[in-house]
Amino acid sequence: MDYRKLGQEITELVGKKDNIARLTHCATRLRFELHDISKAETEKLKALPGVITVVNNGGQYQVVVGNEVQQVYRVITQQMGSATRSADSKSDSGKNNGPKQKQSWISRFISVISTTFTPVIPAIIGAGMIKAILAVLVLTGLVTTESQNYYILNTIADAAFYFMPILLAYGASIKFETSPILAMTVAGVLLHPGWSALMTEGKDVFFIGVPVRLTDYAGSVLPIIIVVWLMSYIERFADRVSPSMIKFFTKPMIVLLITAPLALVAIGPFGTYLNDLVAMGAEAINARASWLIPLLMGTLQPFLIVTGTAWAMTPIATSQLTKNGYEMINGPGMLASNIAQGGATLAVALKTKNKKLKQLAASSGFTAVLGITEPSLYGVTLKLKKPLIAAMIGGGVAGIYAGLTGLVRYAFVSPGLAALPAFIGSNPMNIVHAIVTCLIAFIVTFALTWIIGFEDPVDDEEEGNTNVNDDKTLSGQPVQDNTPGTKSAPTTNTNVLNQNEIRSLMIASPMQGELVHLDRVPDDVFSLGLLGKGAAIIPAKGELYAPIAGEVTAFMDSKHAVKLNGYNGEEILIHIGVDTVNLKGRHFDSSIKVGDQVQQGDLLISFDIDAIKAEGYEVITPIIIANSDRFPDIKLEKQRSVEVGATIMHLS
């Protein structure tokens, strides 16, 4: 590949070098921050040879180029000269230097909400599922609402919502680059029992002569986000004015002494007012046209996911769940949309004659009706277009029914068949309406997809293409044994294999943990196989070992990803976690370097699982066969717990 040409073309199509505010890269993609994203020519970029896809998410314009990312990155940075600096470059105050990407206020708001809520999702989903289980137990008579068992379980479920400001303070501190502990401490001030006691007394409260509005912050969303944003500036101020010898004492004191009173006196009440204003607006719309919001969500949910704006309604839905015990903003429309996506994709699976598409559509369609739609959306309906239109129509029709019947969601879970208990609550007909919504969404979408059809891609076999005959030389190296303990070594002898001589290569597990399919990885670039086929492991221990004997051909400075070229022609990319490039090497340790020869079972990287999770990142680790096209038959072992060295894949 001509990396220089590719780098020049990418630079031109993102709006030329003057449009690049900042450029970094991870193991597979270039991460641009652009001054004006409208100047980027996305479709032309996607069509470039060497570009796998383009993702615009979280304020970053990501160009996925796969294993050649470092070469392309070097070319672009050489073209840029000193105009572009890495995101690692910061001033002493902690602020990024250099120009920043110009974003609309909507994009900035959604970016803030997304980053703030992402670390909180496990807590509110877990609490939501406990709520759903409680609803089932009460419905079946196994537990009564007056029992102590119910009281304790309900307290556990309520905790995540009651202490929502503390949970959100952590995510907001990551977004605004300020101290998580101080942010959570300020949130604790808003929820302190002493504050609750003042509210109970009902007397007028003043602070240094200024009247203080008594507000209940339990379960609130916007107030703490605004407070942490303000605190990020106060902390930088405290850092500048504190003498270095006593900064350890004075900096946190100044931050708390300024931020907490401002939160109680001004920012908190203002944020609460905004929170209530938005909630009242949504409830007013629902009172006058109950079908409107579910219709819009059921129809436009795929568009919201693709554009990254699906988070916009999350604060309102969370606030409703906390105050009312149910919400009608996200859940009903998302249920209709998710089931519709599944219906469209399963219709494609039954109708297509393309074997690869049939397999992809069957698996992703099943996960979509369970509530996870990204594989279905990006892998099938968005590419085929007509099934996506059918899904939007079916989701909208089902959304109208959900709105007219007053369907609500009682717990924060991803709506789908697996989460139907989240629709069981005080209204016994609510679950019936949820089931009917699912049936309408599925039947309407399935029928529309079947009738309007789609352009069925031609199967490779029908075109007479076979990977084995097109590329019989695996690597210019003889096939060798990958059995643990075998001392393989590179050789210069060329050995061209015919189809009958090709043997199975075994890929060993590089870590201890749970072996799962790639579609479990919450990153479409990996889960949809855009970088190649493979598997993933949810690690139980923070150690990564070499799955094959070979050479280290790529190793990130952030130490979260490594690529090995095996002596039998296999090229394996291992990426620890999702978006962990942002950690810039924190919590990772390794002494390997590019060019090292390794044996299977050699320790490559050590990492701290708990610390990575504490910063809000997934640790699920994709193991990708980067040159999958050379191996027409890649078989994954059964999903299970695996030890280091256990066989996880067979390559032919």
CA-to-CA distance for 633 and 389, rounded, in angstroms? 34
Backbone angles phi, psi at 597, to 5 degrees: -95, 130
For residue 188 the two structure tokens come to 């604790």
Phi, psi (deg, nearest 5) at residue 55: -125, 125
- Nearest Cα neighbor of 447 from 487, 398, 390, 518 is 390
Cβ neighbours of residue 209 closer than 8 Å, sequence gap 6 or more: none
Distance CA 359, CA 426 (A): 41
Q: Which helix (H) or strand (E) holds 9?
A: helix 3-13
Give the amino acid at 641: S
Q: What is the chain's alpha carbon radius of gyration, rounded to the nearest angstrom? A: 27
Report in angstroms the alpha-carbon separations of 248 from 173, 243, 251, 256, 313.
19, 9, 6, 13, 40
Residues forming beta bridges with residue 543, ordered by sequence position = 606
Residue 438 among the catalytic residues: no
Spatial neighbors of 529 by CB under 8 A, at least 6 apart, are 518, 628
Distance CA 134, CA 130 (A): 6
Kind plus residue range of the DSSP H or E element containing 55:
strand 53-57
Take residue 460 and report the two structure tokens written for it: 């490779």
Q: Annotated catalytic residue: which of 25, 433, 560, 575?
A: 575
Query: Contacts for 448-451 with beta carbons within 8 Å, 24 or more apart?
Result: 448/344, 448/390, 448/393, 448/394, 449/343, 449/344, 449/347, 449/348, 449/351, 449/386, 449/387, 449/390, 449/391, 450/347, 450/351
Count other C-beta atoms under 10 Å from residue 431's C-beta: 20
In angstroms, rounded to a whole number, what is the distance separating the alpha carbons of residues 360 and 351? 13
| 26, 438, 560, 587: the active-site residue | 26
For the annotated catalytic residues, the residue numbers are 26, 575
